[in-house]
Amino acid sequence: MTDDTSAPDLTKGVSLRSFDSSGLMLGRVGEDEVVLARSGDDLFAVGAHCTHYHGPLAEGLIVGDTLRCPWHHACFSLRTGEALHAPALDPIACWRVERQGDTVYVREKLPETAQATGKSTPDRDTPSSVVIVGGGAAGLAAAEMLRRRGYEGRITMLSADDSPPPDRPNLSKDYLAGNAQEDWIPLRPPDYYEQQKIELRLASRVTSLDLKARQVHLDGGEAITFETLLLATGADPVRLTIPGADSPSVLYLRSFADSNAIIEKTKDSKHAVVIGGSFIGLEVSASLRARGIAVDVVAPENVPLERVLGTEVGRFIQRLHEEHGVVFHLGQTVTAIKNRQLTLSGGQTLEADFIVVGIGVRPAVGLAEQAGLTLDRGISVNEYLETSAPGVFAAGDVARWPDPHTNQAIRVEHFVVAERLGQVAARNMLGRKERFDAVPFFWSQHYDIVINYVGHAERWDEVRIDGSLDKHDCSGTYKEGGRTLAVATIGRDRQSLEAEAKMESENASGVSGRPGR
């Protein structure tokens, strides 16, 4: 729906000459906002809002016959509207386009095609049953893709969480800050699982995996048989091991319940200490500041996020938090917690009503290890995301896959990547043999600043900053041996999409080499 009367009425026709270089034009058809897209000689009309967080698709990027969302890089087919790559899971609407000479008319809305609505037929003989261990981003995206590709067999999703797959990134951002409603957190509404015949079993921890019998065992002793298995067990927060670490005022953040526990603490608190200058630690700090809580951050590094974003961007993030009242104690660790008092390695003490720990996560490899699957700082998978055991796949934070861009086996902790791994694993479970070659992408939000990051750079020998960090309009390019490994942007969403598209085309053309596994 639109109230933007300045947007042209596309039913009345627009000149082909009125497209700018993006090939995208925002207009309207009746009450609907519609994007007219021109890719070479082809013209398409699709809904103007991304089905993830309603990102403005007219500000996105056309790549071939796909349209990419500027906010978190969802990828839609311009031909069918299908949400080809996460984080969007639902399609966008399509309209019929007619060209008369140099004028383009948008006609009636098209019925949802089979592909866009997920009713395509499976690629080949399919497994009789799929068990997914993990009720998070990767697990849900896999289950959704199995059904979208027409899989009709039994899907059982086992989750140790007590709530359905959540929008986990929101738990440290708008939800924790008090700007997002509780019912925005589940990635799918409660009736979705029943409708899609996905047997979601919450509070169901898998305690062992028997590859010979092809069974998983739950903590209550029940055994569930599978033909194909997906391990999407994510990662667990690293726990503090210092004296006092088991105090009830020490909190971690991974699940919806964790986020609610922090919110509960804020109700009668004035002062928090965040241990760890990680993305999660800093996002929590921003959200606590939004709730009026005083925040001290204690972290061992001298510049927060320096290891991922470099010194200059790290210092900028530090300044941003300081401008919002956060006090940093850098180059230090917490050595003990007693009652409300924390002792730092430098000898200083801090008082806190509660403490949030964000010192990193470890991939949840316990089941895979016990079953004897090949591990490599995560579960090792091949380019089709299959583990060392045939018919057993892994996806999400737990999986380390051969990345064609860096020519290394990598494991990342990014929401969009977890979902995309789940989607590709699902198609491969149906016999597809699709190589996972997505370019890693993540975003992080601090107050009103969003950082978008594409690629993967564990180390680099050159960082080039273009534009102005202080004006929130810049990009950082991370290179090694002259080759771009990653690009971080603030306020330059289209540049981020362009960088991603360039890395994708390098992957496709083999410029970046092939993994040596």
Ligand X SMILES: Cc1cc2nc3c(=O)[nH]c(=O)nc-3n(C[C@H](O)[C@H](O)[C@H](O)COP(=O)(O)OP(=O)(O)OC[C@H]3O[C@@H](n4cnc5c(N)ncnc54)[C@H](O)[C@@H]3O)c2cc1C
- Out of ligand FES, ligand X, none, what residue 306 binds, judged by CB under 5 to 8 A for its kind, is none
- Angle, helices 256-266 vs 279-290, to 10°: value is 40
- Out of ligand FES, ligand X, none, what residue 87 binds, judged by CB under 5 to 8 A for its kind, is ligand FES
Select from 285, 319, 324 the least CA-distant residue to 472. 319
Number of residues that bind ligand X (CB under 6 A): 36
- Out of ligand X, ligand FES, none, what residue 368 binds, judged by CB under 5 to 8 A for its kind, is none
User: Can residue 69 be called a binding residue for ligand FES (CB under 6 A)?
Assistant: yes
The Cα 263–Cα 108 span in angstroms is 47
* CB neighbour class for 498 (10 Å; exposed up to 12, middle 13-18, buried from 19): middle
User: Can residue 55 be called a binding residue for ligand FES (CB under 6 A)?
Assistant: yes
Residue 103 near residue 15, CB atoms below 8 Å: yes
Q: Write the secondary structure of 359-422 as one string of H (helix), E (strand) and C (coil).
A: CCEEECCHHHHHCCCCECCCEECCCCCECCCCCEEECHHHEEEEECCCCEEECCCCHHHHHHHH
User: What one-character-per-residue DSSP string does 434-458 give?
Assistant: ----PPPEEEEEETTEEEEEEE--S
User: Can residue 48 be called a binding residue for ligand FES (CB under 6 A)?
Assistant: no
Q: Could you say which residues in the range 74-133 bind ligand X, by CB under 6 A?
A: 133
User: Can residue 92 be called a binding residue for ligand FES (CB under 6 A)?
Assistant: no
* CB neighbour class for 164 (10 Å; exposed up to 12, middle 13-18, buried from 19): buried
Residue 54 near residue 39, CB atoms below 8 Å: no
- Out of ligand X, ligand FES, none, what residue 136 binds, judged by CB under 5 to 8 A for its kind, is ligand X
Binding segment for ligand FES (CB under 6 A), chosen from 45-53, 304-312, 492-500, 508-516, is 45-53
Quickly tell me which residue has 């924390």 as its tokens.
342
Among 27, 81, 87, 404, binds ligand FES (CB under 6 A): 87
User: Can residue 367 be called a binding residue for ligand X (CB under 6 A)?
Assistant: yes
Distance of CA 448 to the CA centre of its chain: 19
Residue 280 per-residue DSSP state: H
User: Can residue 364 be called a binding residue for ligand X (CB under 6 A)?
Assistant: yes
The Cα 204–Cα 161 span in angstroms is 8
The Cα 368–Cα 363 span in angstroms is 11
- Out of ligand FES, ligand X, none, what residue 415 binds, judged by CB under 5 to 8 A for its kind, is ligand X
CB of 120 to ligand FES, least distance (A): 23
User: Can residue 414 be called a binding residue for ligand FES (CB under 6 A)?
Assistant: no
User: Can residue 91 be called a binding residue for ligand FES (CB under 6 A)?
Assistant: no
Q: Could you say which residues in the range 445-474 bind ligand FES, by CB under 6 A?
A: none
Q: Could you say which residues in the range 200-219 bind ligand X, by CB under 6 A?
A: 205-206
Query: Of 47 and 277, which has the nearer Cβ to ligand X?
Result: 277
- Largest pairwise CA distance in the chain: 78
CB of 253 to ligand X, least distance (A): 5
CB of 101 to ligand X, least distance (A): 46
User: Can residue 254 be called a binding residue for ligand X (CB under 6 A)?
Assistant: yes
Query: Of 324 and 362, which has the nearer Cβ to ligand X?
Result: 362
User: What one-character-per-residue DSSP string does 289-328 give?
Assistant: HHTT-EEEEEESSSSTTHHHHHHHHHHHHHHHHHHTT-EE
CB of 398 to ligand X, least distance (A): 6
Phi and psi (nearest 5°) for 48?
-85, -10
Binding segment for ligand FES (CB under 6 A), chosen from 67-75, 76-84, 98-106, 252-260, is 67-75
For the record, the structure tokens of 275 come out as: 């241990």
Binding segment for ligand X (CB under 6 A), chosen from 155-163, 192-200, 297-305, 460-468, is 155-163
Grouping H, G, I as helix, E, B as strand and the rest as coil, residue 344 is strand
- Out of ligand X, ligand FES, none, what residue 174 binds, judged by CB under 5 to 8 A for its kind, is none
Sequence-ordered list of residues with C-beta below 8 angstroms from that of 509, at least 6 positions apart, any chain: none
Q: Could you say which residues in the range 156-185 bind ligand X, by CB under 6 A?
A: 158-161, 168-169, 171-172
Quickly tell me which residue has 């534009």 as its tokens.
467
CB of 158 to ligand X, least distance (A): 5
Query: Of 44 and 441, which has the nearer Cβ to ligand X?
Result: 441
Binding site for ligand FES (CB under 6 A): 50, 52-53, 55, 69, 71-74, 87-88
Binding site for ligand X (CB under 6 A): 133-139, 158-161, 168-169, 171-172, 205-206, 232-234, 253-254, 280, 364, 367, 396-398, 413-416, 418, 442-444
